[in-house]
Amino acid sequence: MTSLPPALGVGGAILALVLALSFAAPWIAPFPTTEQHMLERLKPPGARFLLGTDQYGRDLLSRTLFGGRPALGLGLGAVALGLVLGVPIGLTAGYVGGRLDDLVMRVVDAMLAFPSLLLALLIITALGASTGHALLAIGVANGPGVARIVRSATLALREAEFVLAARARGERHLYVMFGEIFPNVLPPVIVEGTLRIGFAILAGASLSFLGLGVQPPAADWGLMIREARQYVFLSPWPLLVPGTALAFTIVAFNLFGDGLRDRLGAT
């Protein structure tokens, strides 16, 4: 896929802003996220509530600032888990090859036949709805895709000279895999990981929107949009404010990932 030319810079700038605002939320948010102002419900942006209020009169700016924390945490955490699961599996399958590779890749293909949201839903049914379970479910759903990328990158390096040299020196297989091959498959892994963060945030927000992720009264973008839904014709702000934040964050991660891919020259 072709990326826009200034992708890396624009994506990186938006990302830095989103990360900084989420980090600084406790200091810059004008109100506590759960403070209700019953006389000022569903207000449009104004002098007191800069971006308006929701159906309980809670300040949308404050909730949106804090709402990025679970969204980013979920996205980053789930991708980290996907990498922890997928990298060793992909490395092993690609390095060992043969029957094991066949078997592992069949299972990976079968798991990829599920839309990742569906796989996450299956896991959540077994475990119950909560932020932690959503992270676990999306992380597990990300594992097979990561394994596939790592496996094909490993396969390309299996017969490389530095790998053969390490084996001729009598290095242990584990060392060859993690000490020699892994550092060399890092660029595609980093690109894949970055691109997956956007999708993981989207999946996490979708789960929260469906009521199966972050639970009320916490401030989370997906959950805020779920709650805004009923009142959307009374006031669009509870939808527009967190929706814009969510969209910008996902666009930024995708731009940054695409830019990184072009820069690192990975596939």
Partner 1 sequence: MARYALRRLASIALILVLVSAIVFVAIHVLPGNAATLILGEYATPEALRTLEREMGLDRPLLVQYASWVGSVVTGDWGVSLAMKQPVATVVGYRLRNSAFLALAALIVVVVVGIPLGTLAALRRGRPLDLAIVTATYVGISIPEFVTGLLLLLVLAGPSLGWFPTSGYVELASGVTAWARHLVLPAMTLTIALLAHVVRQTRSGLADVLTAPYIRTARLKGASPRRIVMRHALRNALLPTITVLALDLGYLMGGIVVVEEVFAYPGMGRLIIYAVQNRDVPLLQMCALVVASVYVLANFAADLAYAWLDPRIRYS
Rounded-to-integer distance, Cα 218 and Cα 36, Å: 13
147 near partner 1, rule: CB under 8 A: no
Among 41, 239, 262, 266, binds partner 1 (CB under 8 A): 239
Type of residue at 100: L
Among 187, 210, 231, 262, binds partner 1 (CB under 8 A): 210
Within 10 Å of residue 169's Cβ, how many Cβ atoms? Answer: 9
For partner 1, give the closer residue by CB, 153 or 241: 241
Q: Provide the H-helix boundaries in the chain.
A: 7-28, 60-96, 98-112, 116-127, 131-157, 161-168, 173-175, 182-209, 221-228, 237-264
Phi-psi region of 265 (alpha: psi -120 to 50; beta: other; left: phi over 0): left
1 near partner 1, rule: CB under 8 A: yes
For partner 1, give the closer residue by CB, 92 or 206: 206
Per the DSSP assignment, residues forming a β-bridge with 53 are 59
232 near partner 1, rule: CB under 8 A: yes
Contact segment (CB under 8 A) with partner 1 among 39-47, 61-69, 91-99, 124-132 equals: 124-132
**Cβ contacts of residue 196 below 8 Å, gap of 6+?**
79, 82, 142, 145, 146
User: From the CB of 105, what's the least distance to partner 1, in Å?
Assistant: 11
For partner 1, give the closer residue by CB, 67 or 243: 243
Which residues inside 126-145 make contact with partner 1, applying CB under 8 A?
126-128
Is the sign of the CA dihedral 18, 20, 23, 27 positive or negative?
Answer: negative
Rg (the chain; Cα; Å): 22
Among 33, 116, 154, 194, binds partner 1 (CB under 8 A): 116
List residues binding partner 1 (CB under 8 A): 1-2, 4, 106-107, 109-111, 113-119, 121-128, 198, 202, 205-206, 209-212, 222, 225, 228-229, 232-233, 236, 239, 243, 246-247, 250-251, 254
